Amino acid sequence: MKLTVTIARILVGTLFVFSGLIKAIDPLGLAYKMQEFFEAWMGDHSNPTSLLHWFHDHVLMFSILMITLEVALGVALLIGWQKKFITWILLLLMLFFLFLTSYVLFSGKIRACGCFGDCIPLTPMQTFTKDVILLVLIIFLLIKRKYIMPVIKSIHLVTIVLLSVILTVLLQSNALEHLPIKDCLPYKIGNNLLELRKMPADATFDKFNYSFTYKKGNEEKEFTTDNLPDSTWQFVAQNKMLIEKGNDKLPAINDFSLTSMNGNDSTEAILGQNGEYYLYFIKSFDEAAVNWQYGFMQLQAKAKQQGRNIYVVTADTEKIFDFFNKKNNFNVTVFTCDATAIKTAARCVPTIFFMKGPVVLGKWSWEDIDEAMRN
């Protein structure tokens, strides 16, 4: 029994540590996924002063706490610290995770739960199955916790758990300031953005058979599209039947576009150009928080020397255009892009992409603009 408990303990503890660390390299990814859940639960008519709205507005804080908790619990289980308390917390957390994955699987409102971040995407069914297995293992560990023994003296156990918390927080802080150390998104260095906007060659879509119900007097009859009745029949309903399920594959990049100030789609023209240039992503604008203005001036001067253009990409077009071109006379081209696409492409505000045609040659947060200047 002791060996079985040890194996279960290692499996659960390692999976929690791994799950936390894989999300710790990109805590904003989990924050955005949390926003999806809160928006789905709030609906269109939720009270803006409700608790869900408060959670929605503080998702980054909860993302950091959740990731840190996962790692700390996994480490604590592996080293055998506070086994009764830890196994109970693991059980409660696992029940919460199972609720989330069940909602994803059965509601169809959210495509994935993001339990392993963007680096290891799982289908809703795979995630649900994983969580059921983990729940069984945690219940087993809770019942048999007397066989969980500390690996070293108790005083050192606390130090190890605290150290894991500190390192996890530092890893997340680094990602928020300098971009994730591992980029698992379609906008990573080396990717061709135009190619990734194309529909996959093996994409298939749901096929349906349609029929129509008509009524004449007391008689109701169903007709096919190529055998519709004459005008003496009254339309009642359209019937839709799935005859072949598609794989629902979409382009890796399906919401990214560059729209000019006059409303023209300039995506192909900008990404398809020859030569090198910069995309300067700013999702939203708060002038009081602007502390990257001097760095932008340096980058613009460097770009002019090398004959490169800088394009500002934002979801807050009017404010950004006024700041760059009216208030500060930077004279840069500003493009509008969907906020969700910018959140995926640029985890920091601002983020700089160094491009050659449609290919990403480099990307940096504004904190690392000195490195961008060396290219």
pLDDT in tens, 190-220: 999 999 998 887 777 778 888 999 998 888 9
pLDDT value of residue 37:
80
Q: What is the rounded distance in angstroms from the CA atom of residue 246 to the CA atom of residue 186?
A: 23
| Burial status of residue 82 (CB atoms within 10 A of its CB: 0-12, 13-18, 19 or more) | middle
Instruction: Name, in order, each residue with C-beta under 8 angstroms of 178's C-beta and a sequence gap of 6 or more.
Output: 348, 364, 365, 367, 368
Q: Are 369 and 302 in contact (CB under 8 A)?
A: no
Residue pLDDT, tens place only, 1-12? 888 999 999 999
Q: What global pTM score does this model have? A: 0.82
Instruction: Calculate mean pLDDT across residues 219-230.
Output: 88
Residues β-bridged to residue 216: 219
Three-state SS for 54? helix
- Please report, for the chain, the start and end positions of each structural domain, with discontinuous segments joined by +: 2-178, 207-244, 267-373
Q: What is the rounded distance in angstroms from the CA atom of residue 338 to the CA atom of residue 66?
A: 28
Residue pLDDT, tens place only, 99-158? 988 888 887 777 777 778 788 888 888 888 999 999 999 999 999 999 888 888 777 889
Residue pLDDT, tens place only, 307-326? 999 999 999 888 888 888 88
pLDDT at 49 over 60: no
β strands within 217-358, DSSP E: 219-224, 234-244, 276-282, 309-314, 333-336, 351-356
Residues β-bridged to residue 202: none
Instruction: Calculate mean pLDDT across residues 23-28.
Output: 93
Domain 267-373: what homologous superfamily?
Glutaredoxin (3.40.30.10)
pLDDT value of residue 43:
65
Record the tokens describing residue 82, joined without a space. 């506070």
pLDDT value of residue 164:
95
pLDDT value of residue 329:
85
pLDDT at 78 over 70: yes
Percent of the chain past pLDDT 70, that is, above it, reads 95
pLDDT value of residue 50:
66
- Quick check: bond before 186 cis, omega within 30? no
- Three-state SS for 141-190 is HHHCHHHCCCCCCHHHHHHHHHHHHHHHHHHHHHHHHHCCCCCCCCCCCC
What is the enclosing helix (H) or strand (E) of 253? none
Instruction: Calculate mean pLDDT across residues 260-264.
Output: 90
